Amino acid sequence: MPSEDPQPTNPGENGIDGRSRLGRRAASVLVAVGLAASTVTAALWTVALGRFFVPPASAAQKRRVRIGRPADFATDSVDTRFAAALGVWIVCEAVGSGRRFTALRTKCTHLGCITTWRPTERMFKCPCHGSGFRIDGVNVEGPAPRPLERCAIALTPEGELEVDLARTFRAELGQWNDPAGFVLWKSAQ
């Protein structure tokens, strides 16, 4: 007599596809564990990237920085002392009988490379893709889509220039005319 496959005594024990309830439950648990692991991994990557893009507390504390008295800066010049530490160029231009001070961000507006000041050309140049900016920050060559950003700058009651690194002004948004984006100073002050 040919042997037949034994039939389960309880028809609800196996599903239609032949898997047991225990097997389906194990598969569900594995899927849930996989989703939890993926969520935790995504959260850790988000935290890691957030720490990369958010400056440390010490940098945030240096939001407003005093850089010296206006008389300490040469007329029609770019002071490069603060480029590495603060990410700004201090520009002092002759305006009438006085001077105008601006703090320009060192980042190129194309892809964020750090510009260099070339005194012989009287231009800021981007070493990455060749963008060029006049001494006032206006883009004149290369792929940069807009002028350099200005940081807020003010004259303190003690007579010092103070740069607010957290507050910026963009020319294409009409913000360069904001009085907080430059300081006008007359040497008789």
Q: For residues 133 and 161, give the distance between their C-alpha atoms in angstroms, rounded to a whole number.
A: 24
pLDDT tens profile 114-139: 999 999 999 999 988 889 999 999 99
Give residue 60's Cα distance to chain centre.
13
Q: What is the predicted pLDDT for the residue at 51?
A: 65
Residues of the chain by 3-state class (helix, strand, coil), percent to 5? 25, 30, 40
**pLDDT bucket at 41, cuts 50 / 70 / 90:** confident
Q: What is the predicted pLDDT for the residue at 60?
A: 46
DSSP code for 5? P
pLDDT tens profile 80-100: 999 998 999 999 999 888 899
